[in-house]
Amino acid sequence: MSVHKYGKNNATNRIVILISGNGTNLQSIIDARNAGKFNAEIVAVISNRANVFGLERAKLAGIPAITLDHTHFNNRDEFDLTLAKTVEKFNPTLILLSGFMSILSNIFLSRFHRNVINIHPSLLPKYKGLKTHQRALEAGDSFAGATVHFVNENLDDGPCILQAKVRIRPDESPESLAERVLKMEHIIFPLAVQWFCDKRIALKNGIAIFDGIPLPKMGQQFKKTSQIHDGRFGP
């Protein structure tokens, strides 16, 4: 785990990351930023659950770590409004959902609708929601994977940016598949952030755009490890 602490710099991008748990994808973003993979400052990490380890990861990296416990609010709208006001204080250019276990309503998204990105452990549009690996195995799929996508008000439904596949093995369990998919998440999530910071991806009129061209329904397909280093994509 990186314990490098960084302060404010000349970064033009300001990232707020929303979490609900352990924060391994959060750590992949922190590590990529510390390695200079993208020009951004992570200005806050906000959890909707108290005492999760992701908050400790943020503190170790010198990032403001905030708990906004959703169980302390009367309803979803009240929570989303408070969350939006909290996020707005940090003036973010990008909001990342990193294992954030809450569906954001338009109360929140209307303020940030083109700048919110999520990572989901399935090859969307397949298996929205939970137990994605078990469902892929039960369906007899040959491949599973992860998807980075823009966020809208529906569950795991926004335009896809980037996907990575793993072949399902004959002896696969949900746990072993989850572990293998998570490794791909740690690659493609920082890469998508790099693209955003480099202004290579954007959301325009509900369509994901990459280098000025609309992306296909399932987004770019990650294929080569070598592409990590320069952000390129090939056939």
Please identify every residue annotated as catalytic: 120
In three state form, how does the secondary structure of the chain look? CCCCCCCCCCCCEEEEEEECCCCHHHHHHHHHHHCCCCCEEEEEEEECCCCCHHHHHHHHCCCCEEECCHHHCCCHHHHHHHHHHHHHCCCCCEEEEECCCCCCCHHHHHHHCCCEEEEECCCCCCCCCCCHHHHHHHCCCCEEEEEEEECCCCCCCCCEEEEEEEECCCCCCHHHHHHHHHHHHHHHHHHHHHHHHCCCEEEECCEEEECCEECCCCCEEECCCCHHHHCCCCC
